[in-house]
Structure 1
Amino acid sequence: MSPLVKIRAERDQMSAIERRIADFILDNAHLLRDYSSQQVANALKISQSSVVKFSQKLGFKGYPDLKLSVGESVAHHRAIENQSNDDADAVRAVADPYAALADGLSRGKLEAQAETRAINAPAQLDAIAAAIAGAPKVFVTGLGEDGIQAQAFALKLSLLDIHTVHHCDPVFLSTSLATATHGDVMFVFSEHGRQNALAQLSRDLRERGGKVVSVTRHTANPLRAHADASLLVSAHDERPAVEPLLYCAALQHLLDVLFLALCERIGDGAARLGANVERMRHLIDP
């Protein structure tokens, strides 16, 4: 994994000093080869040992190894970017005014997907897939824009003949939870994980013996704290119009991977999916 991807993915879980070091490296990645650990420490007014410990915490032997890895990552990214720019120039040559915009967005989505994939361990995804496959019922909820992703995910689960209960209203969901039993699973979609109502519903389900899976950004938040398992999304951009697009793309990719894992785990998953899709097709296009 690229060290820059790893730093961005883990930044929200770092201490205050570690975040300062992380931000310095991210902001000066192309110049880091010219900085010694002491110069980084002087620039941030911290001890040199803090820089060394930061490097080791990321899995490197020391700062020189981190610096070398960052340099290689920057060089690789530049090579890809130069190729992308050449391709974009070729497209613009045929009068596509949105080529550069589309190329930049595509690169951002790919980076967000890579970061998100890196922070969701395969063992965690496998455990979540196993919990869904063995659950008597799966509750799915999300408020506002999170509800769009929740509804789409609930539909996919239903296509696998998984008993799915979807609500975008916490009051209605609370009523449905009266039927919850041991082993039920609830997916709670919340980008920032701060809705008190969803945290309370999560506690209610756990009291009934169910398991909660939170779907949030890779940050410390109340919803994640009340969950038995978490799906985490890492997507960052300084432009307010772009960051939500990267978040949705990374989240959708993560859910698609989980869905495919479910299809493989359920023995006749492909047959169930095909039959249900065909049935729906006849309803839409008789």
Structure 2
Amino acid sequence: MERTMEYSLLQKMKYAQQLTAQEKHIVNYILNNPEVVFESTAHELAQATFTSSSTIVRLCKKLGTQGYPDFQLKLALDYQRAPATIPPADHPLTELEDVRSAMDSVPYLYHQALEETRRLLNVSVLQRIANWVKESGRIDIYGSDMNYYLAQQACTKWNELGIPAIAHNSPNMHYLNTMNLNVSTLSFVISHTGENQSMVDVAKILNGKNMNVIAITGNNHSSLSRQSTETLLSYGYNEQMRLSKMSSMVSVLYIFDILYMSNIRDSY
């Protein structure tokens, strides 16, 4: 069953950047007065924000809901799960208040990333990949920029289990073209968009050697996925959301830790 990423309504409201001035005003009003939404019609909310009902409905659809009633329901569900102290994105804070806000909001963002990643993952695919890890003679993880450091962390854990693992921050064409095919090598390639050309090239070369390649990406229809044996969907990449990199890091580390934990009992 195909799965796609879904951001919470609260996240969309707090971190969306492509909103008009009117829409930002409405969002900030709602975040400061959430009970108004639960008790008001679209017309009443428009009066309270000095806007129009059509602007309210248009904002609701831009935030991914079907209309104002659906917006009310999703917001109510989100507020049951989220810490009450998370402020609007542009809320003025003193230094102390900012730290206190972060103490509440960071665990929420971590929890959101973990829960959404868990929802996106396919257990049977994970089990198959976990078996490949157990059978592999070596693990290669490819990722550029931030993803390279995530790859290094995953490799460190596997090396501790006695599984040779190396992180690569760019395609090493000499290595890729002269790989020892007698060694069972399992390769992971990380790209949140799935369109990083250097990572797509790596997967294409490995795929051409009939090797198992696992894409870790937020796009199930990406060029990287098409060149890979399996795809593990990560959560949190959206250029319009300011904290998406934090969610992406948590999501990728969670995926690698699941595979690490599935092997740890066989190693001790």
Is the Cα–Cα contact under 8 Å of residues 224 and 230 in structure 1 kept in the other structure?
yes
2:231 counterpart residue number? 230
- Partner of residue 209, structure 2: 208
TM-score normalised by L of structure 1 = 0.61
Aligned-partner Cα distance in 1 for 2:165–2:257: 17
Q: Are residues 97 and 186 of structure 1, via their aligned partners in 2, closer, same or farther at CA, if it must alter by over 3 Å?
A: closer
**Gap change, CA 1:180 and 1:110, over 3 Å in 2:** same
Residue matched to 2:12: none
**Which 5+ residue runs of structure 1 have no aligned equivalent?**
10-26, 36-42, 45-62, 86-91, 272-286
Following TM superposition, by how much is the alpha carbon of 1:118 offset from its aligned partner in structure 2, in angstroms?
A: 0.3
Q: CA deviation at 1:183?
A: 4.3
Number of residue pairs aligned between Structure 1 and Structure 2: 214
CA contact (8 A) 1:167 1:173 kept: no
Q: Conserved in 2, the CA contact under 8 Å of 1:199 and 1:226?
A: yes
195-204 or 244-253, larger mean C-alpha shift: 195-204
* 1:98-117 correspondence runs (5 A): 98-117=99-118
Q: Residues 183, 71 of structure 1: CA spacing in aligned structure 2 closer, same or farther, 3 A cutoff? A: farther
Shift of residue 206, structure 1, vs aligned partner = 2.5
2:172 aligned counterpart, secondary structure: helix
- Quote the Cα distance in structure 2 between the aligned partners of 1:6 and 1:137: 31
- The aligned amino acid for 1:170 is P
Residues 220 and 160 of structure 1: is their aligned pair in 2 closer, same or farther, counting only changes over 3 Å?
Answer: same
- 1:29-70 Cα deviation digits (max 9, x unpaired): x67x979xxxxxxx78xxxxxxxxxxxxxxxxxx9xxx89x8
Change (3 A) 1:243 1:260: same
Q: Do the aligned partners of 1:147 and 1:168 also contact (CA within 8 Å) in 2?
A: yes
- RMSD, aligned α-carbons: 3.9
Mean CA deviation greater in 224-233 or 166-175: 166-175
Q: 1:175 to 1:100 in 2, by over 3 A?
A: same
Residues 124/71 of structure 1: CA separation in 2 closer, same or farther (3 Å cut): farther
Residues 139-148 or 230-239, more deviating: 230-239
Distance 1:77 1:185 in 2: 39
Higher helix share: 1
| Equivalent residue number for residue 255 of structure 1 | 256
Asked whether the 8 Å contact 1:193–1:221 carries over to 2, the reply is yes
Q: Is the 8 A contact 1:181 1:210 kept in 2?
A: no
Alpha-carbon distance between aligned partners in 2 of 1:200 and 1:152, rounded to the nearest angstrom: 23
Residues 204-226 of structure 1 show CA distances to partners (whole Å, capped at 9, x for unaligned) of: 22232310011112452111111
Could you tell me how far apart the structure 1 residues matched to 2:178 and 2:166 are? 9
CA–CA separation in structure 1 for the residues paired with 2:239 and 2:169: 28
Gaps of 5+ in 2: 9-26, 31-36, 43-56, 59-65, 87-92
Asked if 2 retains the 8 angstrom alpha-carbon contact of 1:206 and 1:212, the reply is: yes
Q: Partner of 2:62 in structure 1?
A: none
In percent, how many aligned pairs have the same letter? 14
Inter-CA distance 180–196: structure 2 relative to 1 (3 Å threshold): farther
CA deviations on 1:143-188 (whole Å, 9 max, x unpaired) are 2221111111112111111132432231256447522347421111
| C-alpha contact (below 8 Å) 1:202/1:226 kept by paired residues | yes
